[in-house]
Amino acid sequence: MTVRLYDTQVQALRDFAPQDPANVTMYVCGPTVQSGPGIHHLRAALAFDLLRRWLTRRFGRVTFVRNVTDIDDKVLQNATADEPWWALAYRVEREFARAYGAIGILAPTYEPRATGSIPQMQELIATLIERGHAYAAAGDVYFDVRSWPAYGALTHQSIDAMEPATDADPRGKRDPRDFALWKSAKSDEPADAVWESPWGPGRPGWHIECSAMSRRYLGDSFDIHGGGIDLRFPHHENELAQSTAAGDAFARYWVHNGLVTVGDQKMSKSLGNHLLALDVLADRDPLVVRYALGAAHYRSTLDLTAASFDEAETALERIRTFQQRAARILGTALPLVAADIPEAFAAAMDDDLGVPQALAVVHETVRAGNAALDAGERDAAARALVEVGRMMGVLGMNPADPQWRPAADGAEARALDALLQAMITQRAEARANRDWASADRLRDAIAAAGVVLEDGPDGTHWSLNDG
């Protein structure tokens, strides 16, 4: 067993070996809660949820930290007189939590807010000043990029080729690329968004927040730092520079998920293609959303269309139909089988979290399971049923899991079942009376509603058409 991950810093696949084989440590950049979650936020969170689940299976324990940036320029800009910045941040944080929970993303081991670690940020800034890698200027503090020869190590850029940092007023900077560690209080910003510091009242810069929180909860060295590919520069580059300049070993592996596009265009509010997560979840089953966002490789650019969700729904229905059919035919006398996840599934997941290849194994197992049911091979069918459940369980996508059942067990589903059972009974009576025309009309009406009938020795059963 060797797990391999693509390390963005070295730009190659690496064998993954955690510092503590019994406890993998991960830090993932969470949301800046200035506005509600977009579907791209769910894709990013899901990528690391899948990685976390697989590493938990392989190593037994994962300490997973995902932060909340609740103090930032954008949070302050979006606040209003009726909703102060801290109220906005909390409301939006709850929206993210609801969206994450809806698609089954596991809660982090720790989920620190930036405002809860201000003393740790100030301590880190003081260390950088003492080491000669930061300087104060009129109440602001900047990281001196020229003082750290390794600056640019994550994205492999030279300093002179970089764009100037735009996170603070450049007048106090020695170099336009120097970035803010501490921002002095401004007269046009809320008075309650200010903390005292050795350099004067103010608030932290964005980049210092994650360095301080990862150190606080995981120590000065941890296994994996994750986030969206759009965070590599400047955010992650700056995190790496300031943490290592302060003497921390910091992240041992860098893992980034790909972007989400709509119609091959990067999501943007200005383009009008910014899909809000809660809107999508209002229109689509949460398990379908999870499958659609997780089925592509995490490093790929995912182009979302209505067809993406339709295809996910079809794939899940194929799996669900097999599980229901197998459970019905095998019944309570389900053969005892020694089955775990297939080796091909494990190999795909070990190889840089190859979810597309792993799902191909799932669907091949479904096909083989249906063939075994057709042939009356109960042991083979039972083995396929167990394997499918375990594989989809690892991915957090098992349709048979109770967390995905509420909608299917509701009043609408019960009413649909009652109507279909009545039509099935009428069709059976028509066939018994050799009234083939009536039987065919009932069959055609049921098929037109997108329902498939399966006649068997134990009666007729219905399922939704997966095509």
**Is 458 a residue whose pLDDT tops 90?**
no
Q: What is the pLDDT of residues 13-50, one digit of tens each?
A: 999 999 999 999 999 999 999 999 999 999 999 999 99
pTM (global) more than 0.85: yes
CB 3: neighbour CB atoms within 10 A? Answer: 21
User: What mean pLDDT value characterizes the chain?
Assistant: 91
Q: Which structure tokens are listed for 47?
A: 């990528």
Tokens at residue 289, please? 């959303």
Predicted confidence at residue 457, as pLDDT, reads 52
Report the C-alpha gap between 7 and 228 in whole angstroms.
13
Tell the residue number behind the tokens 């696949």, with chain if given: 13
Of residues 170, 185, 176, 178, the one with CA closest to residue 207:
178
Q: Is the pLDDT of residue 435 over 90?
A: no
pLDDT digits (tens, 9 = 90+) for 273-327: 568 999 999 999 999 999 999 999 999 999 999 999 999 999 999 999 999 999 9
- Check whether 408 has a pLDDT greater than 60: no
| Terminal-to-terminal C-alpha distance of the chain | 37
Q: Are 26 and 48 in contact (CB under 8 A)?
A: yes
Give residue-wise pLDDT tens across range 60-117: 999 999 999 999 999 999 999 999 999 999 999 999 999 999 999 999 999 999 999 9
pLDDT band at 264 (very low <50, low <70, confident <90, very high): low
pLDDT of residue 447: 78
How buried is residue 4: exposed, middle or buried, by Cβ count under 10 Å (0-12/13-18/19+)? middle
More confident residue, 345 or 405: 345
Rounded CA separation 451/413 (Å): 13
3-state helix/strand/coil string of 60-94? CCEEEEECEECCCHHHHHHCCCCCCHHHHHHHHHH
**What's the pLDDT band for 427 if we cut at 50, 70, 90?**
confident
